[in-house]
Amino acid sequence: MNTKELLKKVRKIEIKTRRLSDHIFGGEYHSTFKGRGMTFSEVRQYQYGDDVRNIDWNVTARTNEPHIKVFEEERELTMMLMVDISGSEFFGTEKQFKSEVITEIAATLAFSATQNNDKIGLILFSDIIELYVPPKKGRSHVLRIIRELIEFNPKSRRTNFAEALKFLSSVMKKKAIVFVLSDFITDEYQHTLKIASKRHDVTGIRIYDKHEVAIPNLGMVQMQDEETGKQLLVHTGSKKVRANYAKFYEDRVAYYKDSFTKSGAGVIDCRVDESYVKKLLGYFKRRG
């Protein structure tokens, strides 16, 4: 993709996702994800209706006039976007690949955070950490994140979510809002997820295609494993083959939901041909 095509694609995604974040998600995001607490702002004279528990007795005694302490919410937060860019994300039988839907969702979340003056960081992972973009504020930073999501070329096509979670814990010492975008066709991450979820507010967003849930009966078909590159001749007419694949897929989905639920993390399931807008809004409203 040349520079002109890249900029055009970035601009297209910005227009679509920024409109969503401005008109739909901004307020929902703000009410769902709270700041770190209340911080002292100022002292002012007591007014009728003020909470007497906030009276500053030292200032009151010094001035002979009742004064109260004013507090305000410490809003600034950090959002971390953890994005799976392994081979299985470059699959799609409808209008978009899973990776394209992931990019749109990540951009929408990033612009929503920007509206609240929060920092946004990015971790792209396969079975290694492919790229780490430290959290910063501002539109230009979000556009950089979108560019990386569109054009980054991963070194590996495999997946290791546990390693990505360990990296998150090493670079983020303070609490962050963490969105993990993946198809979660992997396992062996439950323990690491529990550790990360104790410090951070974690939500898993599973992006999937309806045609990867089950193999249709198409006779003998040449297939390629997107994460290993291995090509196989698969007899899809075999009930046993279809049943084994269906069980494999169901087990991965069950592991994902069980792991996130037991860790106290949130879950969102989004099929590529469904509206991710409705999915995100519904999740924000349930949490808010």
Show me where the domains of the chain are located: 3-32+75-287, 37-74
Statement: residue 38 has pLDDT above 80: no
pLDDT of residue 269: 97
pLDDT digits (tens, 9 = 90+) for 6-25: 778 788 888 878 877 776 66
pLDDT of residue 4: 72
pLDDT digits (tens, 9 = 90+) for 142-186: 999 999 999 999 999 999 999 999 999 999 988 999 999 999 999
pLDDT of residue 81: 98
Mean pLDDT value of segment 40-65: 84
Statement: residue 39 has pLDDT above 80: no
3-32+75-287: CATH, from 1.20.1260.10, 3.40.50.410, 3.90.1170.50, 3.40.50.300: 3.40.50.410
Statement: residue 101 has pLDDT above 80: yes
Residues 6 or more apart whose Cβ sits within 8 Å of residue 138: 114
> 99 is written with which tokens?
């990776």
Statement: residue 2 has pLDDT above 80: no
Considering only 94-108, 124-138, 159-173, 199-213, which range has the smallest mean pLDDT?
A: 94-108
> 93 is written with which tokens?
């039988």
> 283 is written with which tokens?
């999740």
Mean pLDDT of the chain: 87
What long-range pairs does 271-274 form, CB within 8 A, spacing at least 24?
Answer: 271/207, 271/208, 271/209, 271/210, 272/92, 272/94, 272/95, 272/96, 272/97, 272/98, 272/101, 272/207, 272/208, 272/209, 272/210, 273/94, 273/95, 273/209, 273/210
Residue 269: HSE in the Cβ half-sphere, 13 Å Cα cutoff: 8
Instruction: Specify the higher pLDDT residue, 145 or 54.
Output: 145
Considering only 63-67, 70-74, 85-89, which range has the smallest mean pLDDT?
A: 70-74
pLDDT digits (tens, 9 = 90+) for 206-257: 999 988 888 888 888 887 776 677 787 888 788 888 899 889 999 999 999 9
pLDDT of residue 1: 60
pLDDT of residue 24: 64
Give φ, ψ of 116 to 5 degrees: -100, 15
Side-by-side strand order, sheet with 201-208: 129-136, 119-125, 78-84, 177-182, 201-208, 266-271
Residue environment code for 161-185, b if the CB has 16+ CB neighbours within 10 A, otherwise e: bbbbbebbeeebeeebbbbbbbbbb
Statement: residue 93 has pLDDT above 90: no
Statement: residue 111 has pLDDT above 60: yes
